[in-house]
């Protein structure tokens, strides 16, 4: 006997496929929403964490900036104190310069040279005097150039012929001169003395 199915099986199969499609579509949409929410929460957590790190770094940068300002202020104070210390040391060292100057002039003046005046302005010393001859003035220049520890750069400003009356009948020809030279600071002298042993070792 032959059985014939008269029910609308094609419509039923089509309906089942539609229901499966809709169910699959809903599940895919739900899965997509879940995945998006998980990704959103993950990114949000990371963003908040990065913001917290950024806030911490900014606060640390501000704190370091304050410390740098304090360090710069301290450095300026240190430089100021060093400048004051150097000024005090220079004053203490240079207060003996007149003694060194007079002692050095006594050592370097040759016989036959007499000083009339001595004037110091800063590190420049100006001498005026009388010499028995021009050769005596030249000798004084050589002594200061080659043998002096404190005086350097001697320069003859002027030399003129003159007469000196030793008695009413005895008059002698002399040379009136004026010269200038430099005197070393005490700090420069210390630097020269300290560098001499090092040069000797080399």
Written as tens digits, the pLDDT of the chain (202 aa) is: 666 655 666 777 888 888 889 999 999 999 999 999 999 999 999 999 999 999 999 999 999 998 888 888 888 899 999 998 888 877 776 677 788 888 888 888 888 898 999 888 888 889 999 998 889 989 989 988 888 888 888 899 998 988 887 777 778 888 899 999 988 876 666 555 555 454 445 4
Answer yes or no: do 44 and 84 share one domain.
yes
Output the pLDDT for position 93.
67
* Same domain assignment for residues 113 and 163: yes
**Are 71 and 106 within one domain?**
no
155 assigned to some structural domain: yes
- pLDDT in the model for residue 195: 53
Q: Are residues 90 and 120 in the same domain?
A: no
Largest CA distance in the chain: 184
Residues 6+ positions from 141 with CB-CB distance below 8 Å: 154, 156, 179
Q: What is the pLDDT of residue 189?
A: 62
Domain boundary among 70, 95, 120: 95
Sheet holding 151-165, edge to edge: 113-121, 124-131, 171-183, 151-165
Q: What is the reported pLDDT for 98? A: 81
Residue 196 lies in a domain: no
Q: Are residues 48 and 69 in the same domain?
A: yes
Task: Indicate whether 30 belongs to any domain.
Answer: yes
Are 184 and 152 in contact by the 8 Å Cβ rule? The answer is yes
pLDDT of residue 61: 93
43/33 Cα distance (integer angstroms): 15
- pLDDT of amino acid 37: 92
Structural domain span for residue 174:
97-186
**What pLDDT shows up at residue 1?**
61
Within this chain, do residues 114 and 124 fall inside the same structural domain, yes or no? Answer: yes
Considering the domain architecture, whether residues 87 and 118 belong to the same structural domain is answered as no
Cα Rg of the chain, angstroms: 50
Would 23 be classed as within a structural domain?
Answer: yes
Q: How many domains does the chain have?
A: 2
CATH number for the domain spanning 141: value is 3.30.1360.100
Domain end position, chosen among 57, 79, 95: 95
Token pair of 73 as six digits: 């202020």
Do residues 102 and 169 share a domain? Answer: yes
At residue 200, the pLDDT reads 47
The phi, psi pair for 32, rounded to 5°, reads: -65, -40
Together in a domain, 66 and 85: yes
């Amino acid at each position: 006997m032959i059985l014939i199915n008269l029910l609308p099986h094609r419509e039923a199969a089509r309906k089942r496929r539609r229901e499966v499609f809709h169910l699959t579509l809903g599940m895919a949409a739900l899965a997509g929403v879940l995945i998006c929410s998980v990704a959103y929460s993950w990114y949000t957590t990371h963003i908040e964490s990065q913001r917290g790190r950024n806030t911490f770094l900014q606060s640390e940068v501000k704190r370091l900036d304050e410390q740098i300002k304090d360090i710069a202020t301290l450095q300026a104070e240190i430089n100021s104190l060093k400048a004051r210390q150097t000024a005090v040391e220079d004053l203490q060292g240079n207060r003996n310069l007149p003694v060194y100057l007079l002692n050095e002039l006594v050592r370097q003046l040759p016989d036959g040279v007499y000083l009339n005046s001595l004037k110091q302005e800063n590190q420049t010393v100006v001498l005026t005097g009388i010499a028995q001859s021009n050769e005596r003035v030249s000798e004084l220049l050589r002594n200061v150039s080659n043998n002096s520890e404190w005086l350097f750069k001697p320069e003859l400003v002027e030399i003129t012929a003159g007469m000196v009356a030793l008695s009413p009948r005895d008059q002698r020809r002399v040379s009136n001169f004026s010269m200038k030279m430099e005197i070393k600071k005490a700090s420069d002298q210390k630097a020269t003395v300290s560098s001499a042993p090092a040069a000797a070792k080399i």
